[in-house]
């Protein structure tokens, strides 16, 4: 490396400091260097002296202008440091430190001479690195030039050159869904396993090359954890990671210009190269930027202790501070829903029989009502009675609105302001209010973006005027008129909804939307997202036990997930006799998720009958809060186990959750997080010794125990099992 | 043919009348027959005993279900007759007769047996023919079946089998623009000439096969005129016509099913076969229908006298009656515009220099104002002074709104509610009102449909609240997020705007939108459209002289065109010294267009200085009305000449316009349309003897003459020339 450096430095402009191409994190353990080699922008990254990212190229391939790939020369760098502690509106703790050293590397690109001087003028761009103790975020910053003004992106070629064949925890690349099981394999096996990992889903668009989605977790042979993701995905398409060998893409509509052919990682001896692959729009375009413009941050988080990865707030920190001036109306929510009964098929979203409907002309009162319509007044009141009795603040009701009879996307069939004849919005909200609750709004767009945006303001106004303050939105099916769930246009749509919803003081919980990238810091009314395979799959195909032991390392890095935990009746036929699925989890696994899967929006997803049946276990769901003072990551190993303790905001109560993945795990809960000298009563919900996530999943024990900060609790969780503890100070609040 | 018929009749179901497959027009001159041959739906058409359409197949190729192409059997027919006279809100006359005989042909399709009985159940569909004395309209009607519910169209295969190599007046097929010059050639030459006919335009998408757009005009060797178009294009994509040989299309995203291969016209000995080709969306899909559904009407108008083609109202008649309950606010408009000065480059739409803008954050007051911004208060007042003095009721002002600095489509850059700092909407509307006028609103969407629809209601409300009642909308550039100008989704968008605008009592004049198909009958606030190469091209490349002698036979069949006539200064450098274009028309050609190109919305497109310069010729533009009692088509030959006389609504004044196309033409104006016994003063604006559309285009004479119903006026128009006559009753109103 040193020789290379020497050669390189000769080329540096003298305008700014020489040797200025390196930046280390505040405590020095993370280091990034940047240089130009043979005209190509290149970076490397070290963590505690170990090379994490081998020399990797940067570049963006354009369509309308010469690409930002080659012909670069270093101009110099600028340094900055930043240290600030900020208070999230909600989160895993009440304050977050944002501490980094920054390096803005200025490079200039010399183009081939052209008759038109303005076309061949040098182009100056910036690569900005923010180096944290736990990793780095970097982005491209494109100032405006006469020959770099409105940019069409063919592809971003950001490389992440891994140093060995790490173990990866990955889901297959897809332009439209991330609701996949995780596969655990060496990086080199992704290309062979990707097709079988792509299990069936409602909307899928395979990527032409073997690839994975972010956030991608890896583990090195010597125990280093590496996570690649992105932060602040705004006005850009979502990034995937292509594993070598990179397959050539088919030409698409506007791709007339000659494609740039980057030297492959393999050619450079980089066998374990991951390369960015953006989500195309319907025309095959990967992005449109108006310079000056910046890309999202490309993030690499590193830890030699898996718990530190869970504790990282780097993704949030790389996002801009809150842009909402009034946040008084934003608050966490614990809710129930008229939902699991539809998911399991016990009741229906649709009011009447399947038929073509036009929300503007169809006479819904004339439609023969299905006896199984879930969102009917009586049923909703029954849920309100139960949920209010047990302290929930909201009730989601799906299938309340006209249009479910003809759930064929690509048409305008859903109304977001007209309820079915058997669902009386004002009366039910009044009933809820009398019980100290609200209804939660549901907007299934069926990805008919045109239909949804046309109704958006009326829909939000309707929601606000009727006392709703949370909207769960859904994007099932192919995007209409055209595009992909994760393309630039759709990402803009999701954010548009968030911004507009804020004007109506509405929080939004988007399902099937793009994976979060920390934007909830900037828009804290983005109260939740799905964007991964959720508990709903338990109603049919199921999630494997390891799933919830991976999500906190991957999907949750970008923001909270509305995973909808709390299924206590694992025999689905007890909800719907015709559904013989079995939830792949124990009761205590489901309880633990309220702690291990952080979200300000937590659902108790099961039906009231199930909770009545397991009322003692249900107590934990009732007790566990959704606002936290502090979080302590006690144990963590991806796919195997996660144990987290969290202190309730404003109290001395603590809650501990532990989940076990593909093997049983005996947790050792070190209670040193507790207040010294204080005695606590612990209520411990644990798997019974003979519990099994498939054959004996409702076997649990509940014990009470007195503990203090010196206690160490040994608790065994079976495969797919878990435990939950609530800790209440004796004589305390 | 007879033998074929006999064979065929054996197959008929006995449930309804035999021999029921033929229908003739009210006066018997047009005849259509329908039958099933070898399982394929087939029709023929005769006009005055001459075969116009030889046996031609019908069918729709589907993606999700078995196609509607083969395996049909006749079930029977139903007949009906209709005769009604209706009053258009505006039009070429005050009442229109809708008189036809109808035949609904019921056919049943037998599918291959399948394990799932519902999939192989017979499918019953209807082909409905409406036969007028001047032609036929027919459409597909698809009732709902278990195996025909939600339909994805791969292609419609409607054939129009011509009997010989007719002369065609055509523009090349294109999914995004119809702003082309016409080519006149035999049908068989289209395939060779199509590429050169596809001259450059802002947004273009060639069709994979040699093709033309509708409405297509043809002339047979023995003098029959044939027009193929469509009526009531609602919830469907626009149709093109492919000339043989049909090239195979490339596979597109969702086209996984095996494509149906229809026997080509050539294989069936049909050399001059035109076949429908629908506009695909961004996914390559050609339509989504929810059955029950109907297609637009496919129309064939026939005449042995070209004047009768101009007089046909068949396209309007095939559309549904007016759906607006209140039409009191709809009225024709004659307007001027701060427009030609931008078109010629004398002034600019943008207020400041080219730069990236964000309408939500850019401080426009800080942008350095261009001295050439056209839509400034002083300039607009100057136009109002002039236009009001000369009796115009509205003034279009383009470039009034924020965002023109960064006219790069695919981004949200136009605001439709915020004006530039130098354009004071309330003050200017007030000034206009004081002068008996209104401003006309302009919405250039730059085809950013998302941006436009998001602002649509605010934009319409802003327009209404500020006293506007006409919106000129524009769709320059590629459709964003994706699609084509003429696909199903965009057609739905245009109609959505029309419907929503009506709620604000706004009339809409859509430029670059899909070609009209008579929908202005149903929505008479659809006051105009461009949808063809308009006079604006005169500012640069120009339109050839024949152009305005073809449009009334083709483009105008579907509805009025905002052609923007009235350019009197042909030397464009007198408007902008840097623009050396020359308008390819004489002054009298431009005057005549106010009569020959019917529109309820007529612009006087030139700048005030030009009108001052030719104030005597301008008098005709001032006098000519936009509301008509009656129209008489005096002379017509496509590409050569058109002479039309129209009576002003509610008066005894008549106006005659005559245009000559690619050759000079001496018109003989037979004044027998005038009231018998009444004397009229005729003011005749005619080309000077030495006029020439390129070299001496401002040479005209104005003479006055006394005429009556027995007069015959001989007036010579040069190539690209014309004449205009206003006739005022002596002693009359």
The model's pLDDT over A19-71, given as tens digits with 9 standing for 90+, comes to 448 999 999 999 999 999 999 999 999 999 999 999 999 999 999 889 999 99
CB B283 to CB A282 under 8 A?
Answer: yes
CB atoms within 10 A of CB B388: 18
CB B453 to CB A457 under 8 A?
Answer: no
Of the residues A294, A478, A482, the best mutation for testing chain B's interface (the one with the most B CB atoms within 10 Å of its CB) is A482
Q: How big is the A-B interface in CB pairs under 8 Å?
A: 62
Q: What are B274's strand-pairing partners?
A: B160
Average pLDDT over residues A207-213: 92
Closest CA to A228 of A481, A498, A558, A475: A558
Out of A283, A411, A450, whose CB is closest to B290?
A: A411
B290 contacts in A (CB within 8 Å)? 356, 406, 408, 411
User: At residue A370, does pLDDT exceed 90?
Assistant: no
Model confidence band, residue A75 (pLDDT cutoffs 50, 70, 90): very high
CB A481 to CB B282 under 8 A?
Answer: yes
Question: What are the pLDDT digits (tens) for A320-366?
Answer: 999 999 999 999 999 999 999 999 999 999 998 877 777 777 787 78
B482 contacts in A (CB within 8 Å)? 281-283, 481-483, 489
CB B282 to CB A483 under 8 A?
Answer: yes
A323 contacts in B (CB within 8 Å)? none
Average pLDDT, chain B: 91
Shortest Cα distance from B722 to chain A (angstroms)? 44
CB B482 to CB A282 under 8 A?
Answer: yes
Shortest Cα distance from A87 to chain B (angstroms)? 27
CB B450 to CB A453 under 8 A?
Answer: yes
Q: B635 exposed, middle or buried (CB, 10 Å; 0-12, 13-18, 19+)?
A: middle
User: At residue A388, does pLDDT exceed 60?
Assistant: yes
Output the CA torsion sign for B19, B22, B27, B29.
negative
CB A150 within 8 A of CB A288: yes
Sheet holding B287-290, edge to edge: B60-62, B150-156, B287-290
User: At residue B9, does pLDDT exceed 60?
Assistant: no
State how far the Cα of A417 lies from the Cα of A423, in Å rounded to an integer.
Answer: 12
Residues of chain B contacting A, Cβ within 8 Å: 144, 149-150, 281-283, 288, 290-292, 356, 406, 408, 410-411, 450, 453-454, 457, 480-483, 489, 493, 496
pLDDT score at A106: 96
Q: What angle do CA A432, A434, A439 make, to 5 degrees?
A: 15
Angle, helices B488-503/B449-465, rounded to nearest 10 degrees: 20
User: At residue B283, does pLDDT exceed 90?
Assistant: no
pLDDT score at A261: 42
Question: What are the pLDDT digits (tens) for B306-345?
Answer: 999 999 999 999 999 999 999 999 999 999 999 999 999 9
User: What percent of chain B shows pLDDT beyond 70?
Assistant: 92
CB A496 to CB B454 under 8 A?
Answer: yes
Residues of chain A contacting B, Cβ within 8 Å: 144, 149-150, 281-283, 288, 290-292, 356, 406, 408, 410-411, 450, 453-454, 457, 480-483, 489, 493, 496
Cis ω for the linkage preceding B481 (within 30 of 0): yes
Q: Which of A61, A75, A536, A629 is catalytic?
A: A536
The residues, ordered by sequence, that sit 6+ positions from B195 with a Cβ below 8 Å of its Cβ are B172
User: At residue A596, does pLDDT exceed 80?
Assistant: yes
Q: Dihedral (C-alpha) B320, B324, B326, B332: value to the nearest 10 degrees?
A: -70
CB B482 to CB A281 under 8 A?
Answer: yes
CB atoms within 10 A of CB A288: 23
Q: Which residue of B has its CA nearest to A413?
A: B290
Q: Which residue of A has its CA nearest to B480?
A: A489
Does the pTM exceed 0.80? yes
pLDDT score at A680: 98
- Cα of first residue to Cα of last residue in chain B, in angstroms, is 60
Average pLDDT over residues A147-175: 94
Q: What are phi and psi of B105, to 5 degrees?
A: -90, 120
Shortest Cα distance from A356 to chain B (angstroms)? 7
Question: What are the pLDDT digits (tens) for A599-625?
Answer: 999 999 999 999 999 999 999 999 999
CB B411 to CB A288 under 8 A?
Answer: yes
- Pinpoint the alpha helices (H) of A208-251: none
CB B411 to CB A450 under 8 A?
Answer: no
pLDDT score at A252: 30
Out of B292, B408, B483, whose CB is closest to A481?
A: B483
Q: What is the DSSP letter of B251?
A: P
Average pLDDT over residues B204-226: 95
B283 contacts in A (CB within 8 Å)? 282, 482
Average pLDDT, chain A: 91
DSSP 3-state of B96: strand
Out of B150, B450, B454, whose CB is closest to A408?
A: B150
State how far the Cα of A530 lies from the Cα of B48, in Å rounded to an integer.
Answer: 67
The token pair at B622 is 């001032």
CB B608 within 8 A of CB B622: no
Q: What are phi and psi of B553, to 5 degrees?
A: -85, -20
- Pinpoint the alpha helices (H) of A508-654: 587-596, 608-613, 615-623
Q: Is B637 a catalytic residue?
A: no
Question: What are the pLDDT digits (tens) for B165-183?
Answer: 999 999 999 999 999 999 9
Question: What are the pLDDT digits (tens) for B226-282?
Answer: 999 999 999 999 999 998 654 334 333 233 333 334 444 545 555 799 999 999 998
Beta-sheet strands, E only, within B419-512: 438-444, 470-474, 507-511
User: At residue A260, does pLDDT exceed 50?
Assistant: no
The token pair at A171 is 């889901």
CB B292 to CB A356 under 8 A?
Answer: yes
Q: Which residue of B has its CA nearest to A146?
A: B355
Judged by average pLDDT, the poorest of A361-370, A466-475, B594-603 is: A361-370
CB A283 to CB B282 under 8 A?
Answer: yes
CB A496 to CB B292 under 8 A?
Answer: no
Shortest Cα distance from B289 to chain A (angstroms)? 9
State how far the Cα of A378 lies from the Cα of A364, in Å rounded to an integer.
Answer: 19
User: At residue B64, does pLDDT exceed 70?
Assistant: yes
Out of A283, A291, A489, whose CB is closest to B356?
A: A291
Question: What are the pLDDT digits (tens) for B448-488?
Answer: 998 899 999 999 999 999 999 999 999 998 898 889 999 99
Q: What are phi and psi of B449, to 5 degrees?
A: -65, -40
A406 contacts in B (CB within 8 Å)? 290
Question: What are the pLDDT digits (tens) for B399-437?
Answer: 999 989 876 555 667 899 999 999 999 999 999 999 999
Judged by average pLDDT, the poorest of A335-344, A580-589, B202-211, B504-513 is: B202-211
Closest CA to A538 of A302, A298, A340: A340
Q: Which of B194, B536, B640, B719 is catalytic?
A: B536
Average pLDDT over residues A197-215: 91
Sheet holding B30-37, edge to edge: B22-24, B30-37, B40-47, B50-58, B159-162, B272-278, B239-242, B211-213
Output the CA torsion sign for A672, A674, A678, A682.
negative
CB B288 to CB A481 under 8 A?
Answer: no
Closest CA to B601 of B469, B493, B727, B462: B469
Number of H helices, E strands in chain A: 13, 36
Cα-trace Rg, chain A: 26
Q: How far is CA A666 from CA A442, A553, A637, A686, B503, in A?
A: 40, 20, 13, 11, 67
Out of A144, A283, A410, whose CB is closest to B288?
A: A410
Q: How far is CA B286 from CA A252, B121, B152, B398, B483, in A?
A: 19, 25, 7, 34, 11
Shortest Cα distance from B149 to chain A (angstroms)? 8
State how far the Cα of A315 lies from the Cα of A305, in Å rounded to an integer.
Answer: 18
Question: DSSP per residue over B289-346, as a string?
Answer: EESSEEPPEEEEEEESSHHHHHH--HHHHTSPPP--S--TT---EEEEEETHHHHTTS
CB B414 within 8 A of CB B360: no
Higher per-residue confidence, A116 vs B247? A116
State how far the Cα of A647 lies from the Cα of A628, in Å rounded to an integer.
Answer: 6
Q: B165 exposed, middle or buried (CB, 10 Å; 0-12, 13-18, 19+)?
A: middle
Higher per-residue confidence, A209 vs B89? B89
Average pLDDT over residues B381-389: 98
A457 contacts in B (CB within 8 Å)? 457
Q: How far is CA B723 from CA A82, A111, B669, B688, B701, in A?
A: 78, 58, 11, 10, 10
pLDDT score at B135: 98
Shortest Cα distance from A110 to chain B (angstroms)? 23
State how far the Cα of A351 lies from the Cα of A364, in Å rounded to an integer.
Answer: 9
User: At residue A195, does pLDDT exceed 70?
Assistant: yes
CB B283 to CB A482 under 8 A?
Answer: yes
User: At residue A4, does pLDDT exceed 90?
Assistant: no
């Amino acid at each position: 490396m040193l020789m290379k450096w020497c050669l390189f430095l000769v080329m540096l402009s003298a305008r700014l400091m020489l040797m200025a191409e390196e930046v280390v994190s505040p405590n020095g353990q993370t280091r990034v260097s940047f240089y130009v080699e043979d005209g190509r922008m290149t970076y490397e990254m070290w963590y505690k002296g170990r090379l994490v990212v081998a020399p990797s190229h940067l570049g963006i391939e354009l369509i309308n202008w010469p690409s930002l790939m080659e012909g670069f020369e270093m101009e110099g760098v600028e340094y900055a440091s930043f240290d600030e502690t900020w208070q999230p509106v909600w989160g895993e703790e009440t304050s977050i430190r944002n501490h980094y050293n920054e390096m803005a590397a200025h490079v200039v690109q010399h183009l081939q001479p052209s008759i038109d001087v303005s076309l061949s003028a040098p182009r100056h761009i910036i690569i900005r690195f923010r180096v944290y103790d736990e990793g780095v975020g970097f982005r491209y910053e494109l100032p405006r030039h006469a020959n770099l003004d409105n940019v069409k992106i063919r592809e971003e070629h950001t490389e992440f050159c891994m140093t060995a064949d790490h173990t990866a925890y990955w889901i297959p690349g897809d332009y439209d869904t991330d609701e996949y099981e995780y596969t655990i394999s060496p990086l080199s096996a992704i290309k062979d396993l990707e097709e079988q990992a792509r299990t069936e889903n409602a909307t899928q668009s395979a990527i032409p090359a073997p690839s994975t989605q972010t956030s991608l977790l890896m583990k090195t042979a010597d125990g280093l954890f590496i996570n690649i993701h992105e932060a602040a995905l705004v006005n850009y398409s979502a990034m995937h990671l292509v594993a070598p060998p990179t397959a050539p893409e088919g030409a698409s509509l506007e791709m007339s210009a000659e494609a740039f052919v980057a030297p492959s990682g393999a050619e450079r001896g980089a066998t374990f190269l991951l390369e960015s692959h953006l989500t195309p729009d319907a025309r095959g375009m990967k992005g449109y930027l108006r310079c000056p413009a910046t890309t999202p941050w490309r993030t690499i988080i590193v830890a030699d202790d898996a718990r530190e990865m869970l504790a990282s707030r780097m993704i949030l920190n790389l996002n801009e501070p809150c842009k909402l001036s009034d946040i008084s109306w934003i608050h966490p929510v614990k809710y129930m829903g008229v939902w699991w009964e539809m998911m399991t098929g016990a009741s229906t979203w649709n009011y009447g029989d399947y038929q073509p409907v036009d929300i503007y002309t169809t006479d819904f009162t004339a439609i023969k009502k299905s006896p199984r319509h879930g969102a009917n007044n009586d049923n909703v009141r029954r849920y309100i009675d139960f949920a209010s009795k047990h302290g929930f603040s909201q009730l989601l009701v799906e299938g309340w609105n006209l249009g479910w009879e003809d759930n064929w996307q690509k048409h305008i069939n859903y109304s977001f302001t007209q309820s079915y004849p058997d669902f009386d919005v004002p009366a039910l909200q009044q009933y809820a209010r009398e019980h100290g609750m609200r209804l939660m709004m549901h907007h299934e767009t069926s990805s008919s973006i045109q239909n949804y945006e046309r109704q958006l303001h009326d829909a939000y106004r309707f929601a606000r005027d009727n006392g709703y303050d949370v909207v769960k939105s859904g994007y099932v099916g192919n995007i209409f008129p055209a595009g992909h769930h994760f393309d630039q246009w759709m990402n803009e749509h999701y954010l548009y909804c968030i911004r507009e919803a804020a004007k109506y003081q509405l929080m939004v919980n988007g399902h099937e939307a793009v994976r979060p990238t920390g934007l909830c810091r900037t828009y804290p009314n983005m109260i939740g997202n799905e964007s991964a395979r959720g508990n709903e799959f338990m109603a049919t195909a199921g999630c494997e036990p390891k799933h919830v032991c991976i999500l906190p390392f991957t999907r949750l890095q970008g923001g909270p997930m509305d995973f909808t935990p709390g299924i206590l009746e694992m025999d689905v036929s007890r909800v719907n006799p015709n559904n013989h699925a079995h939830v792949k989890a124990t009761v205590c696994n489901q309880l633990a998720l309220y702690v291990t899967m952080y979200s300000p929006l937590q659902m108790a997803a099961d039906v009231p009958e199930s909770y009545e049946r397991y009322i003692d276990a249900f107590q934990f769901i009732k007790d566990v809060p959704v606002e936290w003072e502090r979080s302590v990551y006690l144990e963590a190993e991806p796919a195997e186990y996660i144990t987290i303790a969290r202190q309730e905001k404003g109290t001395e109560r603590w809650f501990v959750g532990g989940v076990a993945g593909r093997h049983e795990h005996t947790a050792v809960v070190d209670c040193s997080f507790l207040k010294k000298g204080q005695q606590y009563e612990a209520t411990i919900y644990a798997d019974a010794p003979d519990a099994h996530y498939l054959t004996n999943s409702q076997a649990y024990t509940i014990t009470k125990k007195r503990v203090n900060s010196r206690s160490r609790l040994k608790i065994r969780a079976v495969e797919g099992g878990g435990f939950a503890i609530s800790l209440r100070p004796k004589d305390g609040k």
